[in-house]
Amino acid sequence: MVKVYICATILLLAVCAFAQPDKEAPPQIASSNQSAADPTSAETVKVGKLDVPAEKLRPVNVPLIAPDSGIIIDGKVDEELWQTAAVFKDFYQTSPGDNIAPSKPTVVLMMYDEKHLYIAFKCWDEPGKVRATVAKRDNVFGEDNVRIWLDTYNDQRRAYILGFNPLGIQQDGIFTEGQGADFSIDIVMESKGVVLDWGWSVEVKIPFKSLRYTAGEGKLWGFNAARNIDRLNDEFDAWMPDDRNVSGFLIKHGKISGLNSIKAERTLEIVPSVTLSQTSGKKRTIPLSVAASDRFHPIFNPTGITDPGRFVHEPVKYDLGLNLKYTITSNITLDAAINPDFAEIEADAPVVTANQRFPIFFQEKRPFFLEGAEIFQSPLQPFYSRTIVDPDIATKLTGKIGKNSFGFLVASDNAPGNFSEDERNDPDPNFRPSDEFLDKNAYFAVLRLKRDVGKEHNVGFFGTARVFPRNRNFTGGFDGTFKLNSKTVMKFQALGTHSRKYFYDPFENERNYRTGNGLGYFVSVDYSTDRHGYYLEAIGRSRDYRADAGFTRRTNTNTFFGANRFSTKSRPDAPIIRLNSNQFARISLDWKGRKQSGVAGANVNLSMQGNMFLYTEAGYGFEKIYEDEFGPARVPGERRGAFFGEPQRAAHQFFWVGNFNKTFNKQISGYMFIGSIWNALDFDFGAGPVFGRVSPPYLQFLDLYFEDPDTAGDIPPIDPGKGHQFDFEAGVNYKPVDPLQISFNYTKSKLTRNDSNRDAYDTNIFSLRSTYQFTRFIFSRVRWDYDTLSRRAAGQMLFGWNPNPGTAFYVGYNDTFTYNGFSPLTGQFEPRFERNSRTFFIRASYLFRKSF
């Protein structure tokens, strides 16, 4: 009987073994120490220093399939029709290796019908080591992923970049040559991925109406595909090799053909949205003009008479919006939007603002302004969409006809004339807005034209206008990119500006309403090879340069910069995979030739095993400032200047920074930054009620004021001085389980003056983010920020459903409060818990899409 059981058991195991499905057989790949393409196996062509199979240099024909072929997007790639697809294989490891064989094989398949492009990825790997989570859209390139580039105009200047993790979650954007990838746009497509016992696979279905393209008999598209293996030193494998001695990216891609039967469609997209919100917040009980007096000043009267405020519960408000998109042709799109604002959904992260002389750049987040944004980008940034703060209506026309690209945008912004109730009712006319500006809109117009010249050059025109009562501004100019040879790229831009507005004259100490004309320029030369490179740049803006529709950090400046790079050859198996070292110098002068700042230094960047990166930089610099940059210039015997003491200041500075970044495993990654500047300048602005001005003249004035206010005299002008600046930042990202992601960031910045030994500021920012992804489309998010400089906390709880771009449902709650902090109304100390504002909102939108 025992023998019978043993025989039966053996027979059962044998049957089960033979009954298992066949495992997917990986394609043969070369060993890791030889080229990915074997020159003896097929005809090869010398491209630069690389031997590339001739078949990769010929366009790959993409086969046409019937519209009702029955392809199910489930990630399994098991339909027989995939056997007829175009095949892209024999990938190269382009990073960290230099066009060697990849560690794991990858195959990409492609076919199309008259309305859709179908793509499949088959990635062989050990399934237990695959790194993939149910991530948020556009947040998958930090784990294993695949991606393609579709240069749908075949101009080697712009391409869609579409990426997917092993579960099929999407990351999409636009790659622009010379600018990199912008992942802020989202296109409608369908994808699904699965992890199998042989690796993982993804299937993708892309509607052609989601793309902007040219097609027809004989038309080609640029194409490349790549795979990223996170655990293997962030290995990057691409279908086409990457010659590091050739400048550019899209020029190195292959071509696809056969897309002759795409059905031309005009598509209308309508996205109505509605927002219901209820906001409560603290309002003034004392007019701003009265609160600005010394008896409410947080320094001169920190705990005396205060404005207790009143907490007002506003009624429920509804806000309607509408986005329209009409595809006039496959390469021209008209967009229009009414009230295109999603500010409640994702607020800006807190940043250090203390001791800042110049404006801070914040990324655009509103979908209307992200679509086609690459056409409006240029070095001098004459258009910055966030200058349109609260648009009532906006319209945009973008596209490409032949070699000509264009973008035209007009918008009406009600923010400049939208004043609060307290401001409107202030009894002091100096604080109350003028009727000339009240409820008036600012109007914007932007025109962008570009023309391709040859294979890799382009020239363009940029024009902007912003009009508001007593404030008109116009810019216009030309720019271009020229590839001087395979390794060198030159760019330039020149802009003229014309303004009719108020200009401050520091030598007369008056704001004069006048006409001002300005000039801005930019020119750069970038030479790059695998082991060596250099970069030269000159950029400047005159004193009267104004680009009110754009972003300008500083005027009346000319900056000249040069950098030189040396790199070691990549060694994928060595402890230090690659070393990059840059030596650089920069000097800035105003338009009178006065020195403003300069720096000279060097850095070293190490790529190491285990996804670890180390960076360090050190150098010497100087900074020189003049009182006419901060306020009035002094006139002896008539007017004191903006500075206490000497009318100019100079500081010789030494600096050092270090940075560490590492992915420890599939659950934990982190980074740390540390930096110091010796003799950094404190501009003596003060940093809110916690850190007032700490220059010796001001401290002496405070001592006299608190002894006898009547004899203290006037508040002294600012007295910039040298000090030691210390910066530190660290963060960790933790994924305890696949759907949950938690990140914590800490930022510290501190400046201590040398003369008074007092802290000009010491800010600590704590940020916590937690996201739970219930499914690919349903998530909840909690964020919390706390800034010790204002002693203010901000929190948000958000639940969202976002099945595709345009269709979404959000429920959220925002709250800001202080504890033993300072009033947002007067800056005075409040020794208790105080809520400043809170908002509850529901927002819904739906994409209606019709083709005809």
Residue pLDDT, tens place only, 294-322: 555 556 655 555 667 778 899 999 999 99
CATH code of domain 2-257: 2.60.40.1190
Q: Which amino acid is at 670?
A: G
Confidence check: pLDDT of 22 > 50:
no
> Residue 33's pLDDT band (boundaries 50, 70, 90)?
very low
Please compute the mean of the pLDDT values over residues 325-354 and round it to a whole number. Answer: 83
- Give the containing element (helix H, strand E) for 674: strand 668-682
Cα separation, 493 vs 450, in Å, equals 13
Strand pairing partners for 821? 830
Structure confidence by residue, pLDDT tens digits, 754-771: 999 999 999 999 999 999
Of the candidates 256, 317, 215, the one whose C-alpha atom is nearest the C-alpha of residue 87 is 256
Q: What percent of the chain has pLDDT over 70?
A: 91
Those residues whose C-beta lies under 8 Å from the C-beta of residue 107, and which sit 6 or more positions away, are 27, 87, 88, 89, 121, 122
> Residue 714's pLDDT band (boundaries 50, 70, 90)?
confident
CB-CB contact of 368 with 393 (8 Å): no
> Residue 8's pLDDT band (boundaries 50, 70, 90)?
very low
Q: Which amino acid is at 447?
A: L
Cα separation, 348 vs 357, in Å, equals 20
Mean pLDDT of the residues in the chain = 90
In this predicted structure, what is the pLDDT of residue 15? Answer: 33
Q: Cα angle vertex 358, ends 353, 363, to 5°?
A: 70
In this predicted structure, what is the pLDDT of residue 31? Answer: 37
CB-CB contact of 255 with 222 (8 Å): yes
Strand pairing partners for 123? 106, 200
Cα separation, 252 vs 58, in Å, equals 13
In this predicted structure, what is the pLDDT of residue 306? Answer: 64
Name the least confident of 289-303, 724-738, 806-820. Answer: 289-303
> Residue 50's pLDDT band (boundaries 50, 70, 90)?
confident
Structure confidence by residue, pLDDT tens digits, 575-593: 999 999 999 999 999 999 9
Confidence check: pLDDT of 2 > 50:
no
> Residue 38's pLDDT band (boundaries 50, 70, 90)?
very low
Confidence check: pLDDT of 685 > 80:
yes
In this predicted structure, what is the pLDDT of residue 32? Answer: 36
> Residue 363's pLDDT band (boundaries 50, 70, 90)?
confident
> Residue 436's pLDDT band (boundaries 50, 70, 90)?
confident
CB-CB contact of 392 with 340 (8 Å): no
Of the candidates 194, 215, 212, the one whose C-alpha atom is nearest the C-alpha of residue 203 is 194
| 752 φ, ψ (degrees, to nearest 5) | -115, 125
In this predicted structure, what is the pLDDT of residue 25? Answer: 60
Confidence check: pLDDT of 103 > 60:
yes
Of the candidates 546, 542, 535, the one whose C-alpha atom is nearest the C-alpha of residue 558 is 542
Cα separation, 342 vs 364, in Å, equals 11
Confidence check: pLDDT of 683 > 50:
yes
Cα separation, 274 vs 229, in Å, equals 42
In this predicted structure, what is the pLDDT of residue 291? Answer: 60
Structure confidence by residue, pLDDT tens digits, 227-262: 999 999 999 999 999 999 999 999 999 999 999 999
Tokens of 242: 């990457």
In this predicted structure, what is the pLDDT of residue 710? Answer: 80
Those residues whose C-beta lies under 8 Å from the C-beta of residue 761, and which sit 6 or more positions away, are 354, 355, 687, 691, 749, 750, 751, 789
State the burial class of residue 116 (Cβ atoms within 10 Å of its Cβ: 0-12, 13-18, 19+): buried
In this predicted structure, what is the pLDDT of residue 54? Answer: 87
In this predicted structure, what is the pLDDT of residue 42? Answer: 54
Confidence check: pLDDT of 367 > 60:
yes
> Residue 6's pLDDT band (boundaries 50, 70, 90)?
very low
Instruction: Output the pTM of the full model.
Output: 0.90
Of the candidates 674, 673, 693, 672, the one whose C-alpha atom is nearest the C-alpha of residue 682 is 693
| 519 φ, ψ (degrees, to nearest 5) | -135, 135
In this predicted structure, what is the pLDDT of residue 451? Answer: 97
Q: What percent of the chain has pLDDT over 90?
A: 73
Q: Tell me the HSE value of 729 on the side-chain side, using a 13 A CA sphere.
A: 16
Q: Please provide the DSSP assignment of 235-267 as one string.
A: EEEESS---TTS--SGGG-EEEE----PPP--E
